[in-house]
Structure 1
């Protein structure tokens, strides 16, 4: 990693008084999209994507599977947008979010994978240098994601910050990574920022945290002195604290709500509902997830309830009468 470059670039702050407006990808005009795409590819040309992917990998255990997941990725998005604005001399740039619940049944049909957006042309190489020189990879087929009803179930679940973070990070967030990346694609590994999809996905995950904050979390966070995690925790390498990331209004960031057309909604309603793909044991192990917890969260999202733990008496009866766990 070019540390001098990365430290210099990440020294920018979101001091711009102009509000950053994040729209859903379908809400952008063709001109707005092309402006963003050109700006993104310009950052890639400068090697910034490779540097960020390396940083994301090196800070794996620091920024993932911990309470820092949401504030750290919010800081990452802000700094990425700062780079977009500064290097492309355009203060109107922002990272559009991708509401994948609108494409949950057949993600490959989403606009985001179309030719004008981030389709991978087999005849061309989206070349990357980290962790080695390679062409960007994705799964050939992408299994279903979680739908709006299931995500709303999570948003409406009464929970403290870290329970919401764990539920969101380990399953809905992870499913998009796992399904888009497949077994070998960049999105399935810690160098996932290589894939342009990463940024739209995390912009939406941040939007969902913002929605949960508005519903009932407010500025609720974790104070764990033993792990030195709290509102005053410094977010490496950004130099900002968790408490600096808690209020989007103070950060001059606005998410513009996207209202799907009736045709779009009817199309989903008439389709045969498919369950989202289960997180594979291999993926869970690679990212340090508790597989039992992952299955519990999947059960809640799909069926609206958590799998009940079996008591000691049940286990005795199960042994005596060969009762199946299911």
Structure 2
């Protein structure tokens, strides 16, 4: 497993390996493709919004994978810029790693492996745009780097984000880590380096990737400190920001493109060399997990403000299940699994009766974890929680390849319809919907109902979905839902070759 280390602690050999891999990516044009991916993404889709952290986690993970590929070392980890120890005199700025500041006046970097004679940046169109520039501490709003006290101040914040999910919110972890409120962490790093690190083409400077590795490290530590605080929003925000929306400029392979797909650092084999002293809580603070039995509700209560109750239950077979609370309290529910306590599936506030929570979901066999808290962190109250198996036909309809389309409908909000088809011969196949309903389509397989191949919203006619992909022989699944959480309507779905 690759371990991401403080850039200041890299050995001479590790520095040389990192620099050589970055230069090889530059030589082959892959590095510049990363610059363009960031520069040409919709700015508000990847900044000033909840997806800021998952988008950049996936982005630097992809970059790390490329470093490993060209170096031939699967254990090469992306170094991080430890801001409190990373000022102008830090060893990471030595000539064997990043070089240093730009020259006075021109700001051009003329030292180290990314000096003007060795490194050319590109514009957002991909055209050569001259040498790399830096101007440490020149911006009035970013004359110093974040301190450990400022980092700890932000790491203490919950929840992850709040409505209206933008740069103007004055509570929540994401916006303060990004830097539009509070002590200004991420934004200040860009501003302190200045020069090429200021525009959307900032990945031109390799420090960008170390900088965002530090940002990701802090999100990772926040997740460890608050394991019961999931990603928000689950739904209701602009497309690309919700938990299960595909993010902008993000491929569906080799891992999924949604915030949901990158929430668990361990699943991505991300490991950091060290964590801050306050990150790992003592074991005694971990709450007990109460086992639920399907069909047998349990009475419970939040007796201390801010308390969160944890429950587990076993799903014996693929099917439709409802987890809900009843009673006088305003509950908030989050569901994780299967067999992964860190993989958030869904969350709900008032989907049940009154102010109660309800999640109705098609679930695969496995173990699931439910977190229950009260909507107000200052409240206490009683509630009852139960899990029920819904009396529905869970047989997955078959689609015949090159056969007639199946007529169906999204009849209730948040309904998700699953279909099966078999591919006997390798080739190009198209899965698509038709009709007047704004559908969202996910293709899964082969031989795995959870392995996402591709997702699509409006590539078909009008508001219909269409996925065209190269498929090998095997069993595949197509999942159809409405683009809107609350939308309903008829549609047809088909699979054809070519």
TM-score grouping bracket, smaller chain normalisation? 0.5 to 0.7
Distance 1:255 1:149, change over 3 A: same
Whether contact under 8 Å (1:102, 1:148) holds in the other structure is no
Q: C-alpha displacement at 1:140, in angstroms?
A: 5.1
Specify which of 254, 264, 272 is matched with residue 255 of structure 1: 272
Match of 2:238 in 1: 227
- Structure showing greater radius of gyration is 2
Distance 1:140 1:232, change over 3 A: closer
1:226-246: CA deviations, max 9, x gaps?
A: 523322111232222211100
Specify which of 237, 241, 244 is matched with residue 261 of structure 2: 244
Kindly indicate whether residue 4 of structure 2 is the aligned counterpart of residue 22 of structure 1: yes
Q: C-alpha displacement at 1:256, in angstroms?
A: 1.2
Whether contact under 8 Å (1:62, 1:68) holds in the other structure is yes
Match of 1:190 in 2: 200
Q: C-alpha displacement at 1:225, in angstroms?
A: 2.4
SS in 2 for 1:65: coil
Structure 1 residues without counterparts, runs of 5 or longer: 1-18, 261-326
Match of 1:51 in 2: 33
TM-score by length of 2: 0.45
Matches within 5 A, 1:1-326: 19-59=1-41, 60-103=43-86, 107-119=87-99, 120-121=109-110, 124-125=116-117, 126-131=119-124, 132-133=127-128, 134-139=130-135, 141=137, 143-162=143-162, 163-170=172-179, 171-181=184-194, 185-216=195-226, 218-228=229-239, 229-235=241-247, 236-239=249-252, 240=256, 241-257=258-274
Whether contact under 8 Å (1:25, 1:97) holds in the other structure is yes
Whether contact under 8 Å (1:73, 1:202) holds in the other structure is yes
Whether contact under 8 Å (1:145, 1:176) holds in the other structure is yes
Whether contact under 8 Å (1:23, 1:96) holds in the other structure is yes
Whether contact under 8 Å (1:50, 1:129) holds in the other structure is yes
1:249-297: CA deviations, max 9, x gaps?
A: 111111110789xxxxxxxxxxxxxxxxxxxxxxxxxxxxxxxxxxxxx
Structure-1 separation of matches of 2:53 and 2:160 = 14
Distance 1:148 1:226, change over 3 A: closer
Distance 1:69 1:140, change over 3 A: closer
Alignment RMSD: 2.1
Structure-1 separation of matches of 2:150 and 2:4 = 23
Q: C-alpha displacement at 1:54, in angstroms?
A: 1.4
Structure-2 separation of matches of 1:34 and 1:258 = 25
Whether contact under 8 Å (1:24, 1:98) holds in the other structure is yes
Structure-2 separation of matches of 1:194 and 1:129 = 7
Q: C-alpha displacement at 1:65, in angstroms?
A: 0.9
TM-score by length of 1: 0.67
Structure-2 separation of matches of 1:38 and 1:109 = 23
Structure-2 separation of matches of 1:180 and 1:146 = 13
SS in 2 for 1:128: strand
Structure-2 separation of matches of 1:226 and 1:153 = 27
Structure-1 separation of matches of 2:122 and 2:146 = 32
Q: C-alpha displacement at 1:221, in angstroms?
A: 2.4
Structure-1 separation of matches of 2:51 and 2:90 = 30
SS in 1 for 2:220: helix
Q: C-alpha displacement at 1:224, in angstroms?
A: 3.2
Higher relative contact order (CA 8 A, sep 6+): 1
Q: C-alpha displacement at 1:160, in angstroms?
A: 3.3
SS in 1 for 2:244: coil
Whether contact under 8 Å (1:177, 1:187) holds in the other structure is yes
Hey, which of these two has a bigger chunk of helix by percent?
1
1:272-325: CA deviations, max 9, x gaps?
A: xxxxxxxxxxxxxxxxxxxxxxxxxxxxxxxxxxxxxxxxxxxxxxxxxxxxxx
Alignment coverage as a number of residue pairs: 236
Whether contact under 8 Å (1:101, 1:145) holds in the other structure is yes
1:7-41: CA deviations, max 9, x gaps?
A: xxxxxxxxxxxx22111112322111211111111
Hey, which of these two has a bigger chunk of strand by percent?
2
